[in-house]
Amino acid sequence: MSVDTADGSAGATTAVLIFGRGAMTRLADGRKTATVIGDDHEPSVDDELTAILPRGTARLPLQVKQCHRVPELSMLPQVAAAAGLELSAFTKCRTWSAYLTGLTQQEFPGPVCVLGVAATGDLEGELPPKAGPHRNASANPRHHRNRNPTRTHRRR
């Protein structure tokens, strides 16, 4: 997830949060209700945001319900717990340490903000198809052709 800005109508600037396909799906259906952004964006409760995919093909309007400043990433679990937010509100990661490792790789420039968010409208546009190893596979997993490509079948 990253943050950009976009010009809205009447000259207003709206923060744009960039998410992946899975996070957008969870935001739209209410399973993802929290995220982390850099503190330099100064969000406030009731601010309107827009969640988009990297290519901008799908958009979801969001509203900030909670905003908590976190001086350093290592304090994120404590701040989230104090705000009543569980790990599952942020991510599908199973542990805080795994989530924090991912956040560390995003190289936030300093303090961060924990945002509690809620969708305020419907998802506009389409999400791309789910990527995966069986993208072109048959719908029935029992009918895979050539399960073991190194083994050939010979008729006797």
The helix, strand and coil proportions of the chain, stated in percent and rounded to the nearest 5, come to 25, 30, 45
In the predicted structure, residue 150 carries a pLDDT above the cut 50: no
pTM: 0.73
Pick the CATH number of 2-143 from 3.40.640.10, 3.40.50.920, 2.30.130.30, 3.10.290.10: 2.30.130.30
Annotated domain spans of the chain: 2-143
Alpha-carbon span 53 to 21, nearest angstrom: 7
| Distance, CA of 64 to CA of 105 (rounded, Å) | 25
pLDDT attached to residue 134: 55
Higher pLDDT, 17 or 150: 17
Average pLDDT over residues 50-67: 92
**How far is residue 154's CA from residue 156's CA, in Å, rounded to a whole number?**
6
Give pLDDT tens digits for 60-83: 999 999 999 999 999 999 999 999
